[in-house]
Structure 1
């Protein structure tokens, strides 16, 4: 369509109609909702896309209670997000993910906001504010989306400015003194030419986790987000969108509980009880020397994010268009945590500050004809990461040799620092073409060629101080510059700098066939790729005279996966019943895994892994007022070749990959004459036993969420009450293994039951 002004004027209303339509005008029956997605870089019904995906409209996000993409794991089996602190979330899809969040490596699940890659999950995990929809695509998505989406992609699409003067304000209160205020306004500044949309929210909440040794309560909230967007229509065929967003977090994150403690010292029983909301996290000296006690470390999360982008869409002809996506993104994060989760001072992240700057440019040419839809794209990305890290840990030798062991550092605690600087340049050319062979048969070919170059520099201090000076400034955990040695063991500061580059060609082929008007089967083979990386903080080897050998700083190989998939997408019973299913098998090579070998933390390629599974999605409009939604996945994900510390772990399940996970929800609406629509939504999500680290398993659990709302006749006012984790289920959602060589394992638990109420007004 050439007339861009008409397109913008109608886009909001057409999308709303596509998403919320529940009736057929022709026969006055009801049908399930349809969601329009852009997974293949063109607007399509999700039922016409031959990819396994879960799509959530803005309305569904509200019912589910998802404030960020972590909240969608309950309704997307096969998708998990680990991490007790939002500074370092780790996403897994179909067992593919990364347990290393350092600056030397990349995530395995890509996050895209309005089509632009958010390079690191710590900067991508923001509140879902004024969002049109979220698409979670499973399997490699490098051809359609971009770099480092080997496991899948999370596509967040925000609302665009439109020609209507509209707005919304809402307030929310809830458990632990939770207070949220949100607002948005859409203003047509110049008729048919310039529109503006502004949105923002503020949240404050008291912490729900008490540290019995004192300090701030864990998991409080202090967040603010804002976004300002402009749409400019300089001509009938050109649309320019400007977007500026910012986000600020300043809060206490979570304290750890302790799952395992093998040291011969007494331990408070509360440290291992994840069923309550209390912890015993402190800095007591192991040997009772009160002079070496330190105050409990307060876990912190402070983040400031800025995101600026310009997208230009030009309809060159009726069948040819050009898009340009330009972005500049920065964020800075500070975090701290006590790694062991006990009352003792063992190992602390005293402060980790990460700065990220990303500049990206993409050009995409789309075309269509009677029997071909295609696009070809070029992209370039420059990313810089800077990490300052301070680690504190105890001297495990007592003050007096009479106690049994001589002190290592005179009984004094250690304090070590490092500075890491990385730079990544990535270039790619990619394309995708769908050939409509017949009215029913389509064949899609896609491919991506990528080049990645990564530099890393460990700017270690000349000598470590504050406790390590007794060892001539050598670091036990974070090295000094003179500890880097060459292949002959001779100190060589130039070894503290590395560079490597990788290239890859990743194709995909998809065949889909329409069995009937509302039923399609498809089969696909796709390759995924994630660039190589470096260990962010190489450790000195205690068995090699505290040296950092060249092997410790070498790059790891890229990850590769081949994904085979057969699926069906179908609707039945006059579009009242939706049944989608997919069977997949993937072979995964060179997994980049963060390993703990004794006292050394390193990044390594794990070898080979595989996963075979079945995914099922069902939606049934049981009556005009009641919808049943169900999702399930069965997986058999394991390492085929993997060893750590000489132990063969072949056959061990992949992390965060339960054999079964599923959810079911009931969505009921009831019209009350003179008042409006009373809507009730209740869901149950179940996850089977799964590993969060080799040797440590989380037992199965189920979560119940519910929401009841009243929408007035004119749809201006909505009043809602809701509850998350209604049964107050307690489980572990992340594992910290930094002290596991001593038999000490810290874990984060989940958020307990919360309830709340909200009021919103639209105009």
Structure 2
């Protein structure tokens, strides 16, 4: 697809508007009674973006919301596919398999298990604080709300880009249930279902589960018949709601999952030696570039790439309703995540880089808040506390790489390890005041104290070789300083990372305690029931962070300080033509300070090595428009388009992915395309009194961007366009539905990430073309 592809989305919108105008004109000439028969109100979507229920068209901020059934119909089973439905949202995985969410260019490209995201995820307003834990949050949803822009006042730190709020399905006052059963390419079976029922007059239960399995779809370039990427995913949820009195409700949510799928391999693009050396095999130096095929790559033979990731989530929500003036909510949560995740780093059968990431996260969260309405004022006041413990480990294997020999000493596997403890305290308040029946003022503020402690940070020895290399580096440092050449022996399993102050091998220990005040002020004007105009100014913060790295010196563990985004947004939400048009648009400008990135710092033995750094100044501006059109009965068209212009400020100098020190002033952000567009359309029509047929499709356009600073062509992520299609039949009341579908219908070759690791440049390919069928049933 050419770089001008956004025009396709605009053209679709223009054609749809023209068709709608023609329809509206014809209706104006028809009798009033006939016109009434064709009127359709835009379906009301209730969201809790402001921590209380409201119609989405009355909430003065940019929100995308979709029901669980809508997501199922579109094949959106996890956050990686949200680009189909959420304008301005991007998803990619780092070289270590860590997912990264970005909204309007605000994200955090970090690899560590304990890296706090810039776009946070929530289940029923309870935070799931780290991105690695978010796989599987889409189980049995009532809806998903994607909030854009800083959400610091009500949702707290680490939501400078926005927030994903997953609303779980709830028990019902009568027996209900349903299932979705899919079978598709590569023998993929996806079964999910739920059942809800009252147990007593005051107690209800909802049980949901999902199981996914499938064969590997990636093919080896060098070993015919070898496959990778098998799926084996299981999760379940039990949700209880107890209402002992008319004003007291308790909700208990217990969710668990385990993921034993195989990690996917990246595609090898180019050989670029980190330091070069005799241990690099000639076969790796001359290994061919992966073909332009989403399925073809390579990986180390004889290695088991099955994950063993487990997540348990428990939350208790208590609500006490004291009338319109006071409603008390308490949220309590315990969460436990365990990870074992192999990573193929170079996409070849050679061991230039392979890793096994393992670790754990324990989280406790408590929030207490009071909200209500007094006269013209709606208020929220509250406080919360979060405790996180993160133990992050990665065993790195690189026996056939330039890193396998340092000062002539063979280097075996190493184990970067960090242990971190995080304590976060927050107090917040929000006030919405109706100045008149058409104008409402909004204000919010939050104070946050974020205390992060690096209990231990080290590159640990495994077989004795890293200990010998560390001793050699110690001696070299003393030599450069003109000091007697000495070194401290390191036992097997000991810490080889060197403290430059005393030139001793020892783990890093540090504290980063920071506080901030997030705030938001805004004004909205509702001249009619169908029009909302708003302006907002908000400031949000993302907490500082320590990395997990293969650190030669403790300097690499230096943290980045908190970043801040000052955001200006103006927007409109318009319902027109008796509900046949819903148009939402916004323009925005972000003043970004201390943006956190994974950059590089010089190392005495290895050259520039990864480290977290702050970008002093940068900015983003852009606009977005999404529209829902019903030009005729049965036809729904949803076009959306986003433009984002990102730019680093002057004076930011760092190292690129190839070790060159450059001035990156004026460059756009990585993983931030200027243009994104999607169009979803569906036409349904009756076959007989009880049966409907439907046909639909989805187009996604993702613009050109880059995987790193420096704008190197080899790290480019080219623009691409994908198409999905669906057709099927359904009962008139939508109790059951049979759908045939195709995703990436044209089998477009594309990639979602590009990076340099060790001696290679690699890409993560997109999903290949798949076909399948889904049977859905509700009762």
TM-score (norm 1): 0.88
Shift of 1:336: 1.6
Shift of 1:457: 2.8
Change (3 A) 1:315 1:472: closer
- The equivalent position to 1:354 in structure 2, one of 344, 354, 359, is 359
Shift of 1:562: 0.3
- The equivalent position to 2:508 in structure 1, one of 490, 496, 509, is 496
What's the counterpart of residue 729 of structure 1? 748
Query: Is residue 322 of structure 1 aligned with residue 328 of structure 2?
Result: yes
Query: Is residue 664 of structure 1 aligned with residue 669 of structure 2?
Result: no
Change (3 A) 1:500 1:468: closer
Change (3 A) 1:129 1:482: closer
Distance 1:312 1:77 in 2: 34
Within 5 A, what are the aligned runs for 1:65-104? 65-83=75-93, 88-104=98-114
Distance 2:54 2:295 in 1: 46
What's the counterpart of residue 281 of structure 1? 299
Check the 8 A contact 2:387/2:424 in 1, yes or no. Answer: yes
Within 5 A, what are the aligned runs for 1:188-203? 188-191=198-201, 193-203=202-212
Shift of 1:729: 1.1
Stretch deviating more after TM superposition (456-465 or 36-45): 456-465
- The equivalent position to 1:536 in structure 2, one of 548, 552, 561, is 548
Check the 8 A contact 2:180/2:777 in 1, yes or no. Answer: yes
What's the counterpart of residue 286 of structure 1? none
What's the counterpart of residue 439 of structure 2? 441
Distance 2:768 2:402 in 1: 39
- The equivalent position to 2:377 in structure 1, one of 372, 375, 380, is 372
Check the 8 A contact 1:84/1:733 in 2, yes or no. Answer: no
Distance 1:499 1:226 in 2: 38
Distance 2:316 2:331 in 1: 6
What's the counterpart of residue 337 of structure 1? 343
What's the counterpart of residue 599 of structure 2? 595
- The equivalent position to 1:382 in structure 2, one of 362, 384, 387, is 387
Check the 8 A contact 1:87/1:333 in 2, yes or no. Answer: no
Distance 1:398 1:90 in 2: 27
- The equivalent position to 2:44 in structure 1, one of 8, 28, 34, is 34
Change (3 A) 1:475 1:167: farther
Within 5 A, what are the aligned runs for 1:52-131? 52-83=62-93, 88-131=98-141
What's the counterpart of residue 693 of structure 2? 678
Distance 1:475 1:64 in 2: 55
- The equivalent position to 1:510 in structure 2, one of 515, 522, 527, is 522
Distance 1:370 1:25 in 2: 42
Change (3 A) 1:202 1:270: farther
Distance 2:142 2:746 in 1: 31
Shift of 1:183: 2.0
Stretch deviating more after TM superposition (603-612 or 500-509): 603-612
Check the 8 A contact 2:324/2:372 in 1, yes or no. Answer: no
Check the 8 A contact 2:571/2:584 in 1, yes or no. Answer: yes
Stretch deviating more after TM superposition (113-122 or 514-523): 514-523
What's the counterpart of residue 179 of structure 1? 189
Distance 2:361 2:419 in 1: 10
Q: How many residues align?
A: 705
Distance 2:426 2:386 in 1: 9
Distance 2:181 2:402 in 1: 55
- The equivalent position to 2:621 in structure 1, one of 597, 609, 612, is 612
Shift of 1:75: 2.1
Please give the per-residue CA displacement for 1:554-597, whole angstroms capped at 9, x wherever unaligned. 22110101000111111111121111111100011111111245
3-state SS of 1:149 partner: coil
Within 5 A, what are the aligned runs for 1:43-58? 43-58=53-68
Shift of 1:459: 5.5
Check the 8 A contact 2:558/2:612 in 1, yes or no. Answer: no
What's the counterpart of residue 7 of structure 1? none
Query: Is residue 226 of structure 1 aligned with residue 240 of structure 2?
Result: no
Distance 1:614 1:758 in 2: 36
Please give the per-residue CA displacement for 1:705-733, whole angstroms capped at 9, x wherever unaligned. 12223212454332111111111111111
Q: Which runs of 5+ in 1 are unaligned?
A: 1-23, 283-294, 400-405, 541-547
Check the 8 A contact 1:538/1:553 in 2, yes or no. Answer: no
What's the counterpart of residue 536 of structure 2? 524
3-state SS of 2:322 partner: strand
What's the counterpart of residue 313 of structure 2? 307
Distance 1:469 1:306 in 2: 38
What's the counterpart of residue 567 of structure 1? 571
Query: Is residue 246 of structure 1 aligned with residue 251 of structure 2?
Result: no
- The equivalent position to 1:746 in structure 2, one of 758, 762, 774, is 762
3-state SS of 1:607 partner: strand
Check the 8 A contact 1:441/1:514 in 2, yes or no. Answer: yes
Distance 2:702 2:139 in 1: 28
TM-score (norm 2): 0.86
Distance 1:706 1:188 in 2: 39
Within 5 A, what are the aligned runs for 1:415-494? 415-458=413-456, 460=458, 463-468=461-466, 470-471=468-469, 481=495, 483-487=497-501, 489-491=502-504, 493=506
Check the 8 A contact 2:459/2:551 in 1, yes or no. Answer: no
Stretch deviating more after TM superposition (45-54 or 713-722): 713-722
Change (3 A) 1:392 1:53: same
Distance 1:556 1:407 in 2: 29
Q: Which runs of 5+ in 2 are unaligned?
A: 1-32, 277-281, 475-491, 602-606, 656-660
Check the 8 A contact 2:385/2:423 in 1, yes or no. Answer: yes
Check the 8 A contact 1:92/1:109 in 2, yes or no. Answer: yes
Shift of 1:86: 9.8
Distance 2:613 2:550 in 1: 12
Distance 1:86 1:157 in 2: 29
Shift of 1:373: 0.9
Shift of 1:253: 1.4
Change (3 A) 1:479 1:76: farther
Shift of 1:762: 2.4
- The equivalent position to 2:213 in structure 1, one of 201, 204, 207, is 204
- State the Cα RMSD in Å: 2.5
Distance 2:209 2:333 in 1: 20
Query: Is residue 635 of structure 1 aligned with residue 639 of structure 2?
Result: no
Change (3 A) 1:687 1:332: same
Shift of 1:599: 4.5
Stretch deviating more after TM superposition (62-71 or 373-382): 62-71
What's the counterpart of residue 558 of structure 2? 554
Shift of 1:84: 6.8
Query: Is residue 706 of structure 1 aligned with residue 710 of structure 2?
Result: no
Shift of 1:538: 5.5
Change (3 A) 1:173 1:217: same
Change (3 A) 1:40 1:409: same
